[in-house]
C-alpha cells in the first residue's frame, strides 16, 4: 500500500477496526443474514409455496420508483425461472393513484381471480386497503422497508395482512434494519428457494442481484452491512447482465457495461426508471428491465430517454418558479414548504432535492394529484430524520410515510397554512433527539497533484461502492497550477481544467453544469489555486481516464 496514511484515514473516518475492517474491505455474499430472521418470513415463504403448488393466481403489487420496480423484476425473474405462469403485476399510476395499495386497485386485482397479493416496497401503512383485500378473500403478503405508520402514535396499528416482512417492525429481530424494498423481495426469493427450488438451478437467483444493486444504490439506504454486500455484488452482476432492455439503455447512454459504476446507476439509470412514472406509465420501466424481446427493449429504451429529457425541462422550470417564490419571502424558515396546485406531485421530490442543495434545510414540496388531493414529497439534510420530523407534528398531515432521508405526505388546504411554521418549530428538537446515525465527518485529505495515479485510485477503490453512509473521499490539492480552462459539451455548459505537475504530467479536472464564474476564484491559465475534488475513473468511449471531479476552487 503506497498510501498507507490515506488508507488508514479512510478506515478511521468509517469507524472501521478489527474484524469490521476486513468485512468492509472484503464484502462476502455468504455473510448475508438468514432471511428467516425477518418478521413473518417463514409464513410468507410457506404461503407462496402453497399457492404456487395449487396453481392459484398471484399478483405482485410494487411501488412505481427505482426500488419497487426492480423489486418487481426480482419476483418476475423468480416466477419465470420456476416456469410459473399464473402470475400478473400491478404498478400504480403515480399521479392518479399515489403511493401504496388503494381500494380501486384491490378491486381490479380481485377481478383477476387472485388468491395472493405480494407487495414490494409498500403496504406497511395500508390498513384499510389490506382489510378490503381480506374481504375479497385475498391474502396479502407485505414486503416493505418503510417505517410503520405513526399517525395514531402506535406502531402496533398495522394492516391485518397474512404476513408483514419488514425489518423496521417493532418486534423485528433482524440484525440489519436498512434494506431497501427490492432487497426484501430478493430475501423472499432466497427463503423460498431454501425450502423448495421449483426446478431452479442452485445460484440462478444471483442473476437478479443486478436489480437489487440498482435499487440499493437508488433508494438512499446506507451502504454498510448487507447493503454494501448487495451493492458490490449487484454492480458485479450489472456489468455482465444479459437483460436486453438494460443493455440497450446503457448503449444509448454511451456507458460501457463492463465498467459500469455506482454513479452510472444513480445519475443515469435511476432517473430513467423514475421518469416512467413521473412522466408516463411505470409499466414501461418494468417492461424495459424484464423483457426478453430485443425490439421491445429498443423501443422502450428510446421512449424512456425521450420522457426523461422532457422531465428535466419540466423540473428545471418548477425549481426556477420555487426559487422565485422563495426569493420574495421576508424570511426563509428552518423548514421550507413550497408548492402550487398546478404542480404534479410526481415531480415534487426532484424539486425538493434541488432546494435542499440550495438552502441546506429540510424541504417539503407539494402539488395536486388527479383526485384534487394536495400531495407532495420531502427531502432533508443529513442531520434531520424526516420520518421523525413528520411524527412530531401530529394532526398536520392526512397521511405521511417514508424513511429518514425521503418521504411523502398529503395535506388539506387548512393544514397547509400552518405546516411550515409547525415543522420549523419541531426541527431543532428532532435534530437533538434524532437516533439516526449521522455520517461521520468526511474530512478533506490533502495530497499533491503528483500523487494522482493508478496507485491512489486502487487505494480508494477498495472502499467503493460509494454512496449514502459511505461517502467518496474528498481530496484537497493546494498550489495546483492551471494549464488550461475550457467549456465543453453540446451546449458548452460543462467546465474542464487541466493542471500540470512539476514533472510535466497533466491532470484533468471537470465539473458538469458549471462555468469559470461558478467559483470564488476565476480559474484561468497560469494561476495557482487550491482545488477540492473527488478522484474518479471515466470510461467514456471505452477510454479509461483518471480525472478529478471538482467540488470547489479556492485561492
d(C-alpha 417, C-alpha 123), whole Å: 29
Residue with cell 391474502: 139
**CA–CA dist 211, 189 (Å, integer):** 13
In a domain, 152, yes or no: yes
Q: Which three cell numbers stand for residue 508?
A: 484533468
Phi-psi region of 551 (alpha: psi -120 to 50; beta: other; left: phi over 0): alpha
Q: Do both 218 and 249 map to the same domain?
A: no
DSSP state of 496: E
Q: Residues 251, 213: one domain?
A: no
Q: Is residue 16 part of a domain?
A: no
d(CA 397, CA 374): 10
Task: List helix spans (H) across 150-200.
Answer: 181-195
Does a structural domain hold residue 260?
A: yes
The verdict on residue 15 lying in a domain is no
In this structure, is residue 350 part of a structural domain? Answer: yes
pTM metric for this prediction? 0.87
pLDDT of residue 1: 52
Instruction: Give the chain's domain count.
Output: 4
pLDDT tens by residue, the chain, 555 residues: 578 899 998 998 888 888 889 899 999 999 999 999 999 999 999 999 999 999 999 999 999 999 999 999 999 999 999 999 999 999 999 888 888 999 999 999 999 999 999 999 999 989 999 999 999 999 999 999 988 864 433 455 899 999 999 999 988 999 999 999 999 999 999 999 999 999 999 999 999 999 999 999 998 889 999 999 999 999 999 999 999 999 999 999 999 999 999 999 999 999 999 999 989 899 999 999 999 999 999 999 999 999 999 999 999 999 999 999 999 998 999 999 999 999 989 899 999 999 998 899 999 999 998 777 899 999 998 778 888 899 888 888 988 877 777 888 999 999 999 999 999 999 988 877 654 444 445 578 999 999 999 999 999 999 999 998 899 999 999 999 999 999 888 888 889 999 988 888 899 999 988 888 878 788 889 899 999 999 999 887 778 889 999 999 988
Nearest-angstrom CA–CA distance, 35 and 165: 10
- Kindly tell me the burial class for residue 288, based on how many C-beta atoms sit within 10 Å of its own C-beta (0-12, 13-18, 19 or more): buried
Distance CA 182, CA 191 (A): 14
Whether residues 132 and 160 share a domain: the answer is yes
pLDDT at position 435: 46
Among residues 184, 203, 238, the one where a domain terminates is 238
Same structural domain, 183 and 119 = yes
Which domain-ending residue is among 381, 407, 433?
Answer: 433
Q: Residue 355: CA atoms inside 13 Å, Cβ hemisphere, count? A: 35
| 333 class by beta-carbon count within 10 Å (0-12 exposed, 13-18 middle, 19+ buried) | middle
Q: What's residue 436's pLDDT?
A: 43
Judge whether 320 lies within some domain.
Answer: no
User: Looking at the structure, do residues 234 and 244 belong to the same domain, yes or no?
Assistant: no
Final residue before a domain boundary, out of 238, 261, 296? 238
* Residues 302 and 333 placed together within one structural domain of the fold: no
346 shares its domain with 394? yes
User: Do residue 517 and residue 530 come from a single domain?
Assistant: yes
343 and 299 within one domain? no
- Please indicate, yes or no, if residue 139 is contained in any of the structural domains: yes
Question: How do strand 445-446 and strand 475-488 relate by DSSP bridges?
Answer: parallel
Instruction: Identify the pLDDT of residue 434.
Output: 56
For residue 50, the enclosing domain spans: 32-238
CB atoms within 10 A of CB 17: 9
Q: Long-range contact list for 170-175, CB < 8 A, 24+ apart?
A: 171/39, 172/38, 172/39, 173/37, 173/39, 174/33, 174/37, 174/38, 174/39, 175/33, 175/37, 175/225
Question: Which CATH number does the domain housing residue 216 bear?
Answer: 3.90.1640.30
In a domain, 4, yes or no: no
Residue 545, beta-bridge partner list: 538
- Map residue 89 onto helix, strand or coil: strand
CATH number at residue 507: 2.40.50.140
279 and 375 in one domain?
A: no
Looking at the structure, tell me whether residues 486 and 404 fall in a common domain: no
Same-domain pairing of 231 and 285? no
Q: Is residue 142 within 8 Å of 166, Cβ to Cβ?
A: yes
Amino acid at each position: 500500500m503506497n498510501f498507507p496514511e490515506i488508507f488508514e484515514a479512510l478506515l478511521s473516518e468509517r469507524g472501521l477496526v478489527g474484524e469490521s475492517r476486513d468485512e468492509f474491505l472484503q464484502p462476502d455474499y455468504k455473510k448475508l443474514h438468514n432471511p428467516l430472521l425477518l418478521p413473518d418470513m417463514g409464513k410468507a415463504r410457506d404461503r407462496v409455496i402453497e399457492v404456487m403448488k395449487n396453481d392459484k393466481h398471484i399478483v405482485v403489487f410494487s411501488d412505481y420508483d427505482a426500488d419497487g420496480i426492480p423489486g418487481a423484476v426480482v419476483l418476475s425473474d423468480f416466477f419465470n425461472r420456476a416456469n410459473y405462469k399464473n402470475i400478473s403485476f400491478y404498478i400504480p399510476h403515480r399521479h392518479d393513484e399515489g403511493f401504496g395499495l388503494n381500494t380501486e386497485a384491490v378491486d381490479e386485482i380481485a377481478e383477476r381471480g387472485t388468491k395472493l397479493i405480494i407487495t414490494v416496497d409498500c403496504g406497511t401503512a395500508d390498513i384499510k386497503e389490506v382489510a378490503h383485500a381480506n374481504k375479497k378473500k385475498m391474502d396479502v403478503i407485505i414486503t416493505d422497508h418503510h417505517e410503520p405508520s405513526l399517525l395514531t402514535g402506535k406502531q402496533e396499528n398495522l394492516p391485518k395482512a397474512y404476513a408483514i416482512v419488514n425489518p423496521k417492525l417493532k418486534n423485528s429481530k433482524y440484525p440489519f434494519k436498512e434494506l431497501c424494498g427490492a432487497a426484501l423481495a430478493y430475501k423472499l426469493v432466497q427463503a423460498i428457494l431454501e425450502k423448495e427450488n421449483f426446478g431452479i438451478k442452485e445460484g440462478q437467483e444471483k442473476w437478479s442481484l443486478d436489480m437489487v444493486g440498482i435499487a440499493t444504490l437508488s433508494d438512499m439506504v446506507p451502504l454498510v452491512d448487507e447493503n454494501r454486500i448487495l451493492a458490490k455484488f449487484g454492480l458485479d452482476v450489472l456489468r455482465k447482465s444479459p437483460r436486453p432492455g438494460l443493455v440497450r439503455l446503457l448503449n444509448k447512454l454511451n456507458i460501457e457495461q463492463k465498467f459500469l459504476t455506482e454513479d452510472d446507476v444513480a445519475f443515469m439509470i435511476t432517473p430513467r426508471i423514475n421518469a416512467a412514472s413521473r412522466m408516463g406509465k411505470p409499466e414501461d420501466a418494468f417492461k424495459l428491465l424484464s423483457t426478453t424481446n430485443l425490439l421491445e427493449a429498443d423501443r422502450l429504451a428510446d421512449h424512456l430517454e425521450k420522457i426523461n429529457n422532457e422531465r428535466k425541462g419540466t423540473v428545471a422550470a418548477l425549481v426556477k418558479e420555487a426559487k422565485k417564490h422563495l426569493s420574495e419571502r421576508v424570511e426563509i424558515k428552518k423548514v421550507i414548504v413550497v408548492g402550487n396546485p398546478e404542480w404534479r406531485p410526481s415531480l415534487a421530490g426532484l424539486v425538493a432535492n434541488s432546494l435542499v442543495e440550495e438552502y441546506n434545510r429540510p424541504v417539503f414540496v407539494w402539488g395536486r394529484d388527479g383526485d384534487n388531493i394536495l400531495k407532495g414529497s420531502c427531502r432533508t439534510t443529513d442531520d434531520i430524520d424526516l420520518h421523525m420530523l413528520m411524527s412530531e407534528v401530529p394532526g398536520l398531515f392526512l397521511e405521511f410515510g417514508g424513511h429518514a432521508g425521503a418521504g411523502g405526505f398529503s395535506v388539506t388546504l387548512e393544514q397547509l397554512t400552518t405546516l411550515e411554521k409547525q415543522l420549523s418549530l419541531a426541527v431543532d428538537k428532532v435534530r437533538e433527539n434524532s437516533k439516526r446515525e449521522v455520517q461521520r465527518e468526511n474530512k478533506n485529505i490533502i495530497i499533491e497533484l503528483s500523487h494522482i495515479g493508478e496507485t491512489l485510485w486502487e487505494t480508494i477503490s477498495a472502499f467503493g461502492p460509494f454512496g449514502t453512509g459511505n461517502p467518496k473521499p474528498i481530496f484537497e490539492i493546494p498550489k495546483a497550477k492551471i494549464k488550461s480552462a475550457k467549456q465543453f459539451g453540446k451546449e458548452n455548459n460543462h467546465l474542464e481544467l487541466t493542471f500540470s505537475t512539476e514533472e510535466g504530467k497533466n491532470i484533468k479536472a471537470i465539473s458538469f453544469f458549471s462555468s469559470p464564474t461558478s467559483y470564488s476564484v476565476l480559474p484561468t491559465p497560469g494561476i495557482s489555486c487550491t482545488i477540492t475534488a473527488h478522484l474518479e475513473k471515466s470510461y467514456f468511449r471505452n477510454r479509461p481516464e483518471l480525472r478529478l471531479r471538482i467540488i470547489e476552487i479556492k485561492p
